[in-house]
Amino acid sequence: MTFTVRWPDGRTEDCYSPSLVMHDHLEAGSTYTVAEFTDRSVRALGIASDRVRAKFGFACSSAAATTEQIRRSARAYPAGDLVEVTRMWPPLPEEQR
């Protein structure tokens, strides 16, 4: 799945997760401090990678790359600045909401 964030300076960034677990940690249209967004994202991406490991026997390199991408971007802003999650695709299936 992909999720799009708007950083405090207005820059948008698309991020990838191999799992819909991101929906358990982030919500489209919500804002989080940079610190909270980073924490939630890294935690969710760790779970996503563990799911890949359980299914295929190895961790997900894409989840690791997205984790690094988010950490690198977050370092450019004060921890208390706000990040907005503008889009999460695909949405959760109706029965999982």
Report how many domains make up the chain.
1
The answer to pTM > 0.95 is no
Q: How much is the pLDDT for 97?
A: 56
Q: How much is the pLDDT for 51?
A: 94
Q: How much is the pLDDT for 36?
A: 98
Strand partners, 15: 3
d(CA 1, CA 15): 8
* Residue type at 43 in one-letter notation: R
Backbone dihedral angles phi then psi of residue 68, each to the nearest 5 degrees? -65, -40
Q: How much is the pLDDT for 95?
A: 56
The Cα angle at residue 71 between residues 30 and 67, in degrees rounded to 5 = 85
Q: How much is the pLDDT for 93?
A: 80
d(CA 54, CA 45): 14
* Whether 29 contacts 85, CB under 8 Å: yes
Mean pLDDT, 10 residues at a time, the chain of 97 residues: 98 96 97 98 97 92 97 98 97 71
Give me the domain span that covers residue 8.
Answer: 2-96
Q: Which of 72, 73, 65 is nearest to 45 (CA)?
A: 65
Q: How much is the pLDDT for 13?
A: 98
